[in-house]
Amino acid sequence: MTSPILTISNLTKRFGGNTAVSAINLEVMPRETIAIIGPNGAGKTTFYNMVSGRMLPTEGSIILDNQDITGLPPHKISRLGVSRSFQINNIFPEMTVQENVEVVLSAYHGHSRKLFNIASRNTAVQEEAKELLTRLSINGLADRRAEVISYGDKRLLEIAMVLATRPKLVLLDEPTAGMTPDETRRTTALIRKLASGGEYTFLITEHDMEVVFNLADRILVMHRGEKLFAGTPEEVKNHPEVRTAYLGEEDEEQETET
């Protein structure tokens, strides 16, 4: 039995009297894809913010590969192998698509500490960036300024940047939010391919249930900061409480059909 890559115990975040995340426990096994679902305000993003170091947990612990990362700053957590995307596109708008990835690669390889190595002469980094863009099928956009590419392509670029640090654990925050149905299908297929490559471990929050059921090995359902249910996609689909709390609309549809 392999040991979990991420062990979260009793993770809690309170803002004043309001509990945004309440006593969440979660074990993530290597190369697993876990989806975290729940309505807006369920605490998914707050949960991510704690795991990635953007917010300090009020209680609980986060263990990555036997190392306690609770409360470490974002750059240290990133160094230890957790990489994340954001709900709102988080790229370098005035740089080219290629440079966006090169920044992250320079950071990862430690080139950014060198004051006198000309960035445009670093062919190894350039090729690695090209390769990552190819994996996300946006290599054709390499020389475009990042702010002018389409919304969906920006999201893919951000995933390329997230993968550039060779993370042990990848947190994607609503990767298909705001995408057209076509972009959503394309992105889901890409993530599926990355997940099945046996290289990455994914945590994904998502509103689109089709995407979730397509990608996830296991699903954690959150509601008002608490764990409502955790299980396989099949179990989640058939769980009565989950259906009323979150899949309510589909439930009603089915009732009217019968």
75 binds other proteins (CB under 8 A): yes
The dihedral region occupied by 223, where left means phi > 0, alpha psi between -120 and 50, and beta the remainder, is beta
Q: DSSP letters along 126-158, please? A: HHHHHHHHHHTT-GGGTTSBGGGS-HHHHHHHH
With CA atoms as reference, report the closest residue to 12 among 69, 70, 65.
70
Q: Which stretch binds other proteins (CB under 8 A): 4-12, 25-33, 76-84, 239-247?
A: 76-84
Shorter beta-carbon distance to other proteins: residue 52 or 188: 52
- Residue for token pair 């089709």: 210
The strand order across the sheet containing 202-205 reads 82-84, 169-173, 202-205, 33-37, 218-223, 226-231
Shorter beta-carbon distance to other proteins: residue 99 or 153: 99
Site map (CB under 8 A) of other proteins, residues 122-161, x = contact: x--x-----------------------------------x
113 binds other proteins (CB under 8 A): yes
88 binds other proteins (CB under 8 A): no
Tell me, by CB under 8 A, how many residues bind other proteins. 36
Q: How many CB atoms lie within 10 A of CB 246?
A: 22
- Which residues of the chain form contacts with other proteins (CB under 8 A)? 52, 73-75, 78-79, 83-84, 90-95, 99, 102-104, 106-108, 111-120, 122, 125, 161, 164-165
